[in-house]
Amino acid sequence: MKTLLVIDANALIHRAFHALPEFVSREGKPTGALYGVASILIKFFKENPPQYVVAAFDRPETTFREKLFSEYKAHRPEPAPSLVAQIVEAYALFQSFGIKTIDASGFEGDDVIGTLVEFFKHEPEIKITILTGDMDSLQLVFQEKVVVETLRKGVNDITLYDEKAVRERFLVEPYQIPDYKGLIGDASDNITGVRGIGPKTAARLLGHHKTLENIIKSIEFNESILEEDSAYRKIKDQKEEALLSKKLATIRCDAPIPRLALRDLIISKNMKDGAIKYLSQFGFKSLIKRLEEESKKKIHQGQLL
């Protein structure tokens, strides 16, 4: 089975930026995050060489989520100028590795990822791996076809999530993650959820009702359950907040991006030259050495480096 690697570019850049020292090029440009992302790519291509690759980016414009809820992510500090500069530069980094980059105005990179998954998850003999730095994409895990690999610490510790791993971690199915966040919220995105509902209660209710909407229907159909379990009362009193929180947490799979074919995402087996040329301008000698060493090995057919 061939692999399509979908990269959450912004998540990787942020993780690398905060995990590594702030390197500076000869011209005085910040390069620490770029170094980290390039290191991740080399490591990943060495250990799990995909046949197809694409990188999804956020865009700076207001998103539809911010229009729905002005406080969405509003608690986050403004990104450092050195981080912003490296996000912009990262487009060229990915392209030097032969990786197509894609974004959509008004949508987050997660929505671009969701749309790409929707394009390709039913392709025969294709497995999709989402490489990211956060957990939002877990809702996209699907059978054995779509898995998520997250960076846990720094840029080297990677954890794989399939359906079983999602269930073990959250006690819900992948498709229930938006419902789960609709109930418990998500502090990292300033999503409120339902005050007083925690992970165990959310998992218990979703195990019985499957969706947030079903929980609300059950309350409307039989209000006696409000006396049986205080969690239902909390949900009834905060129904609108819960539904909005679920909507904010749901990854869209209809972002306005071109309808790509797998052939558009093939990565060249000779991408080494372009990557080395790009990395040379920043003096990333150790990464260039790794690229050259791996390209000489050519461990098996399909090796990228």
Whole-angstrom CA distances from 82 to 15, 57, 75, 158 are: 14, 17, 20, 26
Q: Tokens 């971690």 sit at which residue?
A: 169
DSSP letter at 185?
Answer: -
Q: Taking the model in full, what pTM does it have? A: 0.93
Please state, as a whole number, how many other Cβ atoms lie within 10 Å of the Cβ of residue 7: 26
Q: In this predicted model, what pLDDT tens digit does every residue of 13-72 receive, in sequence order?
A: 999 998 888 888 888 889 999 999 999 999 888 888 899 999 999 999 999 999 999 999
DSSP letter at 211?
Answer: S
Task: Report the pLDDT value the prediction gives residue 299, as an integer from 0 to 100.
Answer: 42
Q: Please name every residue paired with 68 in a beta bridge, in sequence order, or none if there are none.
A: none
Domain 2-170+251-297 in CATH 3.90.25.10? The answer is no
102 near 112, Cβ under 8 Å?
A: yes
Task: Report the pLDDT value the prediction gives residue 301, as an integer from 0 to 100.
Answer: 43
DSSP letter at 291?
Answer: H
Q: Are strands 52-56 and 146-153 parallel, antiparallel or unpaired?
A: unpaired
Using DSSP's 3-state secondary structure scheme, residue 31 falls into: coil
CATH topology of domain 174-249: DNA polymerase; domain 1 (1.10.150)
| Domain limits, the chain | 2-170+251-297, 174-249
